[in-house]
Amino acid sequence: MIDLTVGFTLVREFPATPAEMWRYWTDPAEATHWMHPRGVTTPQETIRVDVRPGGRYEYVMVNAETGERYPTGGVFREVVPYERMVFTWGKPDDDPDDCPLVTVTFQPTAAGTQMTFDLRGVPAKPSDDIYEGWEEALDRLGEHVSSGKDHR
C-alpha cells in the first residue's frame, strides 16, 4: 500500500484568476503547453479529462529526443471547481487505491491566484526526478500563464 505520509508541496503565485487556473489544468488545449518537464511534450490529442469525482484523466508525455512515451493517468477523488482538485497519479491502468495522491488548491489573491500543489505517496525531495519534473512543469505553467495567450 502507498504511504501517503511522505511527499512534497510546491506553492506558486500566478497572475490569473482561480477560474483561469482551473482551465489551465482541465482544458487539453491549455494543458498541452505545460503539463510536462522540459525536453518532453504532451500532445493535445493524448489528453483526456473527465473532471468529476470518479472521472478519469490521462495524457502521454513524449521525450522530444528519443520519442519514448510516458503514459500518465488517474482518477479524480474530489472536485470543487475553481478551488480544489484531488486525483490519483500514476499510469492510466494502475489501481487508483495504490497510487500517489495529488491535491491542487487555488486561493484568490490580490495579484491573481496562489496555487498549492501537494503530492503524497512519493518520498521525493529537491533533486529527485519526480520533484524536479513537477517543479519544471509548474515553471512551464507559469510561463504559459504569463504569456497572456488564450488558447481556447
User: What is the reported pLDDT for 124?
Assistant: 84
Beta-strand (E) ranges in the chain? Answer: 7-14, 40-41, 48-49, 56-63, 69-80, 84-88, 101-109, 112-120
Q: Quick check: pTM over 0.75?
A: yes
How high is the mean pLDDT of the chain?
94
Q: Give every residue of the chain whose pLDDT is below 50, as ranges.
A: 149-152
User: What is the reported pLDDT for 148?
Assistant: 72
User: In sequence order, what are the residues at sequence separation of 6 or more whose Cβ sits closer than 8 angstroms to the Cβ of residue 15?
Assistant: 111, 112, 145, 146
User: What is the reported pLDDT for 1?
Assistant: 79
Please check whether the domain covering 7-147 is classified as CATH 3.30.530.20.
Answer: yes
User: What is the reported pLDDT for 127?
Assistant: 85
User: What is the reported pLDDT for 151?
Assistant: 42
Q: Which three cell numbers stand for residue 97?
A: 487505491
Q: Phi, psi at residue 31, to the nearest 5°?
A: -60, -30
Query: Tens digits of per-residue pLDDT, 39-70?
Result: 999 999 999 999 999 999 999 999 999 999 99
User: What is the reported pLDDT for 86?
Assistant: 98
